[in-house]
């Protein structure tokens, strides 16, 4: 879904998702949620909703501005959690 025919040519937005879902922060949130931490569970639900919305708009050829808006939610998480 996020790769073009040439695997080295990433579709825009992939790096944002890769940074968030590949971060130690996300791993910690997942671990905390498994332990029953309510804040982590709520954040995971919100992230799942945001990802579902992003996929929906990407699959339904929504305007580029809508895709950017959906990706901006993940960029904000990266900034809020100081992920490099």
pLDDT tens, per residue, the chain with 84 residues: 333 344 444 456 889 999 999 999 999 999 999 999 999 999 999 999 999 999 999 899 899 899 999 999 999 999 999 998
Specify the long-range contacts of residues 13-18, CB closer than 8 Å, at least 24 apart. Answer: 13/67, 13/71, 16/71, 16/74, 16/75, 16/78, 17/71, 17/74
Q: What is the dihedral of CA 63, 65, 68, 70, to 10 degrees?
A: -70
Beta partners for 10?
3
Rounded to whole angstroms, the Cα distance separating 84 from 66 reads: 25
User: What residues are paired with 3 via a beta bridge?
Assistant: 10
What is the predicted pLDDT for the residue at 1?
Answer: 36
């Amino acid at each position: 879904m996020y790769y073009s025919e040439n695997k080295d040519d990433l579709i825009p937005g992939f790096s944002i998702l890769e940074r968030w879902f590949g971060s130690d922060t996300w791993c910690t949130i997942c671990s905390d949620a498994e332990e029953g931490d309510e804040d982590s569970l709520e954040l995971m639900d919100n992230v799942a909703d945001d990802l579902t919305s992003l996929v929906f708009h990407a699959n339904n050829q929504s305007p580029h501005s809508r895709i950017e808006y959906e990706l901006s939610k993940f960029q904000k998480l990266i900034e809020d959690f100081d992920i490099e």
